[in-house]
Amino acid sequence: MKNTRLFWQIFFPVLFIILTSVSATTWIGAHFIRSFYYEQMREDIKDRALLVRPNILQLLDGDGLELQEFCRVNGRLAGTRITVIRRDGKVLADSNENPERMDNHGTRPEILLAFGGSVGSSFRLSKTLGRIMLYVAIPLKEKKPEDGVLRLSVPATAMDEVLAAIYHKIILGTCLVGLLAAVFSYWLARRISRPLEEMRKSAEHLAEGGTDTRVVTESAHISKETSKLARTMNTMADQITARIKTITRQHNELKAVFASMTDSVLAIGTDHRIIRVNRAAGQLFGIEKDIVKGKPVEGVLRNMLLQDLITRALASSTPLEEDLVLNIDSRKTILKTRSVPLLNEEGGKLGVLLVMNNLTRVNRLESIRQNFVANVSHELKTPITALHGYVETLLDGAWKNPEELKEFLQIINRQSLRLEAIVDDLLSLARIEDKSSKNNVHLAEEIIKSILENSIQACSLQAEEKGVRVKLDCEKTLKANVNRSMLEQAVVNLLANAIRYSPEGEQVTVRAIVQPDIEGKKLVRISVSDRGPGIGPEHIDHIFERFYRCDKGRSRKEGGTGLGLSIVRHIAGCHGGTVEVKSSVGTGATFTISLPARSV
């Protein structure tokens, strides 16, 4: 059933009630007016009859022609039909017709009443005249009403004309009242329905998420009940607004937490369709988190182990924990997974929430840590073992031999220096990493050539002892924002390695130039090139790892700690730059530090 607006529910009933009341009142009024007018005419004709009766009584005993003439003349003068009827109903005289041709009137209702001694009257069609007449009859003799009757009558046309004029005015008045009633009904319906309509619009606006609309509660045209309802709706709107803000804030908080989680999270419905994916999961599986919503999980994640886990999690009502080893993008990935059921407010199951912690990097870092500890232990143990051995030899009596004493002390000195170098490099690496993690690296505009000259000067003694020439190629005006001491240390490490692995009499070149990268950004490139044995391709990807050596025996013989290139990589990273190497076996190597040219 179709609902009707409140406006029409008020307008039509009120208009109907008013029009019905007016119509009923009009009809009753017209009825009373007609009855009143009829009674007035009846009384008027009765009064005429009483005035004429004495004359009729005087002429009743005389010649019938005089009575007939009297009735004819006076009836025409008064516009009234006068009829005299004797006791047997025969018409003695009539102002309009010949009495001899008229029917017996003894059975007429008004005549019968007059014979009974009262005033008789009736409306009916006159057979003689063929018109509706108002008849009024009185006894000729009050004491002997049966002796005869005097009847006067007038056409009903006059009364009908008067009543028609009255009815016409009543109808016009009724139409005017109906129009005013329609206007009043419309105004009343609008007065009552408008606040409710405003409440409806406010409720719809609130349902659409709007919280800035309030219903007017204080107004002359608003009823007390409607005002209370409006205040209740405003209170409800305030409460809903507060709850919406709370829910929105909590939703944003959860969304932020969900998006910032480093663990991969998948929310999957009971129909195996994806409900939500966080950014970490999107990056892990290479999927767009906004595009895959609502899609079947089997079409998005094509790993059978993961699909089997999801199926078991959806079938289980308890949390599941399991470690999965997956092959993602041809890489071995270890995931620690935990699934928990998703429930609605009634405790029904909506799906499952899958949280995956990628342990691949943790395992790799653990492996690096173990290798680092092993390497540090090995690198420290070698000189310590040598020191311990030679000290024991000296204590066993070798100190008595001056030549052996001198040789052993020289070895102990070299090993202690090697041990000191390892500790210094470890401390330097720790300091660089600490500054980088705290973003505490101070950069300032420096002349690059001055830094390179200082680095060459620091390695000059090593170069002289090896007979290696060092060539510098750098413009005097070349500048960049750098940390001077850290960049000097990085260049010294590269230059020391180049000198160490260069044959005697060869040349090491240090060059600094400005070049754009593939994106067009200017970079300051500082390179150190040697003509040593070079680096094999199998070592290129690992050359900057801590304690990594291409030739471990030769490196230790040359006195390297295995930390120099790792320090260079960290220093370049602190400057927002990179370090790379180009080399092949037998052709030497070129190490290049690329730094952003913030000011050149």
Bigger pLDDT: 84 vs 313: 84
Q: 461: exposed, middle or buried (C-beta count within 10 Å: 0-12, 13-18, 19+)?
A: exposed
Q: CB–CB of 494/534 below 8 Å?
A: no
Domain of residue 246: give its range: 209-256
> What is the 8-class DSSP label of residue 562?
S
3-state secondary structure of 149: strand
Bigger pLDDT: 290 vs 152: 152
Does 25 share its domain with 148?
A: yes
| 167 is a domain residue | no
Does 116 share its domain with 224?
A: no
| 179 is a domain residue | no
- pLDDT of 515 > 60? The answer is yes
Average pLDDT, the chain: 78
> What is the 8-class DSSP label of residue 598?
S
Mean pLDDT, residues 112-121 taken together: 86
Does 130 share its domain with 39?
A: yes
Instruction: Dig out the tokens for 368 from the structure.
Output: 């690096």
pLDDT tier at 384, thresholds 50, 70, 90 = confident
Mean pLDDT, residues 41-50 taken together: 85
Place of tokens 């998005």: 300
End-to-end Cα, the chain, rounded Å:
83
| 184 is a domain residue | no
Q: What is the pLDDT, as a whole number, of residue 228?
A: 74
Instruction: Dig out the tokens for 266 from the structure.
Output: 């998948």
| H or E element at residue 580 | strand 578-583
Cα separation of 110 and 123, whole Å? 10
| pLDDT per position as a tens digit, 256-268 | 776 777 777 888 8
Which segment, 124-138, 172-186, 565-579, is predicted with the most confidence on average?
565-579
Mean pLDDT, residues 584-596 taken together: 88
| H or E element at residue 268 | strand 264-269
pLDDT tier at 599, thresholds 50, 70, 90 = very low
Sheet holding 349-358, edge to edge: 274-277, 264-269, 349-358, 331-343, 320-328
Sign of CA dihedral 291, 292, 293, 296: positive
Does 227 share its domain with 137?
A: no
Q: What is the pLDDT, as a whole number, of residue 184?
A: 79
Q: What is the pLDDT, as a whole number, of residue 111?
A: 86
| pLDDT per position as a tens digit, 204-246 | 776 676 666 665 555 555 666 667 777 777 777 777 778 878 8
Q: CB–CB of 128/96 below 8 Å?
A: yes
| pLDDT per position as a tens digit, 526-565 | 999 998 888 888 887 778 776 666 654 444 444 456 677 8
pLDDT tier at 600, thresholds 50, 70, 90 = very low
Q: How many CB atoms lie within 10 A of CB 72?
A: 16
Does 496 share its domain with 402?
A: no
Mean pLDDT, residues 517-522 taken together: 76
Task: Assign residue 523 the CATH number of its domain.
Answer: 3.30.565.10
Domain count, the chain: 5
Place of tokens 């129009």: 179
Sign of CA dihedral 221, 225, 228, 230: negative
- pLDDT of 364 > 50? The answer is yes
Closest CA to 486 of 595, 561, 597: 595
Q: What is the pLDDT, as a whole number, of residue 511?
A: 92
Residue 386's alpha-carbon distances to 318, 329, 408, in angstroms, are: 60, 47, 10
Mean pLDDT, residues 390-405 taken together: 73
Q: What is the pLDDT, as a whole number, of residue 165?
A: 78
- pLDDT of 509 > 80? The answer is yes
Q: Which of 403, 419, 436 is a domain's end point?
A: 436
Q: CB–CB of 383/417 below 8 Å?
A: no
Spatial CB neighbours of 177, under 8 Å, sequence gap ≥ 6: 18, 22
| pLDDT per position as a tens digit, 273-286 | 888 888 877 777 77
282: phi then psi, degrees, rounded to nearest 5 = -60, -40
Residue 275's alpha-carbon distances to 265, 354, 463, 599, in angstroms, are: 11, 11, 66, 50
pLDDT tier at 591, thresholds 50, 70, 90 = very high
Task: Assign residue 416 the CATH number of its domain.
Answer: 1.10.287.130
- pLDDT of 325 > 60? The answer is yes
| H or E element at residue 406 | helix 402-437
> What is the 8-class DSSP label of residue 520?
S
Mean pLDDT, residues 103-113 taken together: 85
Does 69 share its domain with 139?
A: yes
- pLDDT of 67 > 80? The answer is yes
| 343 is a domain residue | yes
Cα separation of 509 and 468, whole Å? 10
| 189 is a domain residue | no
Spatial CB neighbours of 412, under 8 Å, sequence gap ≥ 6: 386, 387, 390, 391
Does 154 share its domain with 214?
A: no
pLDDT tier at 295, thresholds 50, 70, 90 = confident
| 476 is a domain residue | yes
- pLDDT of 82 > 80? The answer is yes
Mean pLDDT, residues 179-190 taken together: 78
- pLDDT of 436 > 60? The answer is no
pTM: 0.42
| 498 is a domain residue | yes
Which segment, 157-171, 306-320, 414-428, 520-534, is predicted with the most confidence on average?
520-534
Does 430 share its domain with 485?
A: no
Q: How many CB atoms lie within 10 A of CB 146?
A: 14
- pLDDT of 471 > 60? The answer is yes
Does 523 share its domain with 449?
A: yes
DSSP notation for 65-132: HHHHHHHHHHHHHHT-EEEEEETTS-EEEESSS-GGGSPP-TT-HHHHHHHTTS-EEEEEE-TTT-SE
- pLDDT of 68 > 80? The answer is yes
Does 429 share its domain with 322?
A: no
- pLDDT of 48 > 50? The answer is yes
Q: What is the pLDDT, as a whole number, of residue 554?
A: 44
Does 448 share its domain with 544?
A: yes
Does 299 share its domain with 403?
A: no
pLDDT tier at 508, thresholds 50, 70, 90 = very high
Alpha-helical (H) ranges within 512-551 are: 537-540
Spatial CB neighbours of 70, under 8 Å, sequence gap ≥ 6: 55, 56, 59, 93
CA atoms in the 13 A half-sphere facing the CB of 88: 2
